[in-house]
Structure 1
Amino acid sequence: MSMGMTGSANTWTIAAARDALRKGEISAVDLTMSCLTAIDASDALNAFVHKTPELALDQARAADARIASGNAPDLCGIPLGIKDVFCTKGVPSQAASNILKGFVPEYESTVTAKLFGAGAVMLGKLNMDEFAMGSATESSCYGPAVNPWKVDDVLRTPGGSSGGSAAAVAADLCLGATGTDTGGSIRQPAAFTGTVGIKPTYGRVSRWGIVAYASSLDQAGPMGKSVRDLAIMLGAMAGHDAKDSTSADLAVPDFEAALTGDIRGKKIGIPAEYRIEGIPAEIDALWAQGREMLRDAGAEIVDISLPHAKYALPAYYVIAPAEASSNLARYDGVRYGHRAALAAGDGITDMYEKTRAEGFGPETQRRIMVGTYVLSAGFYDAYYNRARKVRALIKRDFEQAFAAGIDAILAPITPTSAFGLGEMDKASPVEVYLNDVFTVTANLAGLPGVAVPMGLDSKGLPMGLQLLGRPWDEAGLLNHAYVLERAAGFVAKPDKWW
């Protein structure tokens, strides 16, 4: 068997499985069965929340026929997990919220339609934070997803909001997964689980059929076991879509072909503002190590300034809730999902209020209320308009860095490694929001960002770094990530306890 193919098939990379499928060393049905078996034994992780084994096997049989015909795309026969925020035809799509209980879409999101069109197999829907609001998957109506990395008796978060996606990939329940990133929700869970993930440039991947959180920030992307796998998946997910007015009409490059491993003469920016007070020594050391690895590969390391980065978190937590309050107004019990039982004499307003009070969890309620407040007549200018201006300044900081010749920016992803489930319950919401301090700038500026696992901390938990790239340069960004991945040589896997 070819390289990287030890262990049962569910542990393989997409690239290794693709080659084995083409050579006839395994069938898509057997590959899918390997994943379904792993999923059935993984309930302790609570990663898969709607399992679709019949659909998966149907798709795998069709993939085998397509591969046999000799003209199959790269993803043909590859088993994936789909975050519960993507609408999937005939399969419950709840965005982990009770308000969407019983909602089964009659249509397919553009991303899943593209993946299935490329022959990918859907194993089921993955756990997440309710409406993608959170950094720990603890706001999910299904209960929290659990990080497969366990170093003591503490159950830890796989991060959020794409926590189920990260846990499923790290535990080898699927070969890859879809995620969405509004303020770090692909990159932070990847860092917490020792996996890779990329948030593409805003507009690179269609948002059509994805349950909206903050429409000017949301972007879907792949999560996987290697940078090459991200390149393969992103190629299938990306592309123009007339159904999404914010989708860019740009050709999709061959992301895998861009992985040359050559970054000689490239300039890597190191933002001074990311050296925040109280950053753990281990993360600081990791960041220094990343700089050395890129320098050893022939890149030039350049200190840069992003002066408005310190305002990113407050701006994000005004803009995102404002957009959420507007997007989530549609969940009112009228057309689909949950409707509250009403008392005699209740009117339409009572139905709205009771339905929303029952259907939305506390974090979603908090963000709706914050968002409604910052958009209200007396406060619109003081909060929302000011945040929009700050956002423009943050975007300009990055534009100036790229104009000065910077090719990519290297930064930490998270202020800590994975924390224990329930640990943040004692913290104030603002303390919890600090998890996003390194990631939200990319969403506010619309830039691509990729997470690469770098090593284990002193507790034995994974830690990663992120690279942020020029708009539309996912190809170059993935190549930088590929260099970092090879230099770091991270191959650790969690010990199976579940």
Structure 2
Amino acid sequence: MGYKLNIHDPQDPTSLPPSTRSRLASGRRASESIRVGIPLDYNIATLQPSVRNAWIRTLKALHANGHTLHPVRLPATQRALSAYYVLAPAEASSNLAKYDGVRFGSRAEGIDGTPESVLFAKTRGQGFGPEVQRRILLGAFSLSAQAIDNYFIQAQKVRRLVQQDFDKVFAKQNPLLDDIAETEGTGDKVDVLLCPTAPSTAPLLSKVEAQDPIQAYMNDVFTVPASLAGLPAISVPVPSATEDQNIENEEYTPFAGVGIQIIGQYGDDKLVLDYAKELQAVARDS
């Protein structure tokens, strides 16, 4: 017996209600030609040559398959990474606050807490890894009374700007917004965006173990804008070209591939999945 997943679950607060689902378009067929947006703001100086080459090859292959290419600008996405690492730790700090070994989670052995600390100080110190502890501390600070206006509130404003940037370039109107008059003409509007998933290929494990946390965060520069805007996105692996192996890159390995990301408008999940399948076929043939 099969179960249908694409329905509203009243027990899940993140599940879309029927009123919102009715506003989502049925989606375009995978056989149709689409307008592919090329975010110029994603062509950053630190983009590895092998990643840029794979991006260009993929775009050329899609154009050869009948899809049209259109450069677009997403200026607010340059601030998305900073906003994300204010908002994400704040959410982590809030969501993980219940794991204190009293109500939820396991408790550390022995006596926990001193007159100078809270009851669950040792429990939370042992229960979370360094990165989680780092995010909890950052989130607790950004949500504090003295910092919330300068950090959390400002990051939420950037989040709205990022969403507005995406809404301006997509041909389909965001179904979560109130009905407004359509912008005349669709000359600069696109159906999906195509860009690298990360500015570099996957590093060696030895490099990751010695990597500074800030360096790791910088690799999220292309993925956090869609997350902030709540848009469907998928990463498709594309093989590196043979000539790219000669590019000077200490982290290159013969098995390294390049992630190419497809981003769609809110509610266009099926469209994103359909063209991810086509992109896989294009990557194999190119």
> How far does residue 416 in structure 1 lie from its aligned partner after superposition?
2.0
Matched, 1:335 2:113: no
1:411 is the counterpart of 2:195: yes
Give the one of 60, 64, 80 matched to 1:292.
Answer: 60
In structure 2, the CA distance between the partners of 1:423 and 1:461, relative to structure 1 (3 Å rule), is: same
Assess if the C-alpha contact under 8 Å between 1:259 and 1:482 holds in 2.
no
Contact 1:409 1:469 in 2 (8 A): yes
Instruction: Give the distance between the partners of 1:444 and 1:423, measured in 2 at CA.
Output: 28
Aligned to 1:271: 39
Given that residues 63 and 69 in structure 2 are in contact (C-alpha distance below 8 angstroms), is that contact kept between their aligned partners in structure 1? yes
Superposed CA deviations along residues 323-355 of structure 1, whole A, max 9, x for unmatched, are 111111000010343212233995795431111
Give 1:374's aligned residue: 142
Please tell me the residue identity of whatever aligns with 2:139: G
Residues of 2 paired with 1:430 and 1:301: CA distance?
34
Distance 1:344 1:433, change over 3 A: closer
Deviations 1:147-202 (A, max 9, x none): xxxxxxxxxxxxxxxxxxxxxxxxxxxxxxxxxxxxxxxxxxxxxxxxxxxxxxxx
What secondary structure, in the 3-state scheme, does the structure 1 residue paired with 2:60 have?
Answer: helix
Task: Give the conservation status (yes or no) of the 8 Å contact 2:231–2:266.
Answer: yes
**Offset of residue 241 of structure 1:** 1.5
Q: Which residue of 2 aligns with 1:464?
A: 259
Conserved in 1, the CA contact under 8 Å of 2:74 and 2:166? yes
Answer yes or no: is the 8 Å Cα contact 1:259–1:479 preserved in 2: no
Deviation at 1:420, TM superposition (A): 2.0
Alignment partner, residue 160 of structure 1: none
**5 Å matches for 1:107-118?**
118=3
SS at match of 1:464: strand
- Counterpart amino acid of residue 280 in structure 2: E
Correspondence for 1:44: none
Deviations along 1:241-272, one digit per CA (max 9) or x if unpaired, are 212223212559xxxx97954132x2110001
Q: Pick closer, same or farther for the CA change 1:361–1:296 going to 2, 3 Å.
A: same
**What is the match of residue 477 of structure 1?**
272
- Which runs of structure 2 are paired with 1:12-31 in the superposition (5 Å)? none
Contact 2:163 2:229 in 1 (8 A): yes
- Within a 5 Å distance, the mapping from 1:14-413 to structure 2 comes to 72-73=1-2, 118=3, 237-250=5-18, 261-264=30-33, 266-343=34-111, 350-403=118-171, 404=186, 405-413=189-197
Q: 2:182 corresponds to which residue?
A: none
2-side partners of 1:308 and 1:465: how far apart?
Answer: 21
What is the deviation of 1:462?
A: 2.3
Deviation at 1:414, TM superposition (A): 1.4
Question: Aligned-pair RMSD on alpha carbons?
Answer: 2.5
CA–CA distance in structure 2, aligned partners of residues 315 and 480 of structure 1? 29
Note closer, same or farther for the CA distance 1:289–1:237 as it changes in structure 2 (3 Å cut): farther
Instruction: Indicate conservation of the 8 Å contact 1:263/1:297, yes or no.
Output: no
SS of the aligned residue for 1:471 comes to: coil
> 1:369 is paired with a residue of what secondary structure?
helix
1:397–1:260: structure 2 CA closer, same or farther, 3 Å change rule?
closer
- The 2-side partners of 1:394 and 1:342 are apart by 48
Q: Distance in 2 between matches of 1:392 and 1:345?
A: 41
SS in 1 for 2:119: helix
Q: Secondary structure at the match of 2:120?
A: helix
SS at match of 1:283: helix
Distance 2:103 2:72 in 1: 50
Q: Does 1:442 align with 2:226?
A: yes
- Runs of 4 or more off by more than 6 Å in structure 1? none
Unaligned runs of 5+ in 2: 172-185, 246-253
Percent identity between the two aligned chains:
38
- TM-score w.r.t. the length of structure 2 is 0.81
Higher relative contact order (Cα pairs below 8 Å, separated by 6+ residues):
2
Equivalent pair of 1:318/1:384 in contact (CA under 8 Å): yes
One-letter amino acid of the structure 2 residue matched with residue 485 of structure 1: Q
CA offsets per residue over residues 434-470 of structure 1, 9 Å max, x none? Answer: 1111101111000000122221463232222111001
Q: Please say which of residues 268-277 and 341-350 is displaced more in the overlay.
A: 341-350
Task: Give the unaligned 5+ runs of structure 1.
Answer: 1-71, 74-117, 119-235, 491-498
Output the TM-score relative to the length of structure 1: 0.48
Closer, same or farther: CA 445–406 of 1 in aligned 2, 3 Å: same
In the alignment, is the contact (CA less than 8 A) between 1:263 and 1:480 conserved in 2?
Answer: no
Q: For residue 191 of structure 1, what is the aligned residue in structure 2?
A: none
Instruction: Return the alpha-carbon distance in structure 2 between the equivalents of residues 288 and 345 of structure 1.
Output: 57
Equivalent AA in structure 1 for residue 37 of structure 2: G
* Counterpart Cα distance in 2 of 1:346 and 1:376: 23
The structure-2 alpha-carbon separation of the partners of 1:413 and 1:237, relative to structure 1 and needing over 3 Å to count, comes to farther
Query: Deviation digits for residues 102-145 of structure 1, max 9, x if unmatched?
Result: xxxxxxxxxxxxxxxx4xxxxxxxxxxxxxxxxxxxxxxxxxxx
Residue of structure 1 in register with 2:235 after alignment:
451
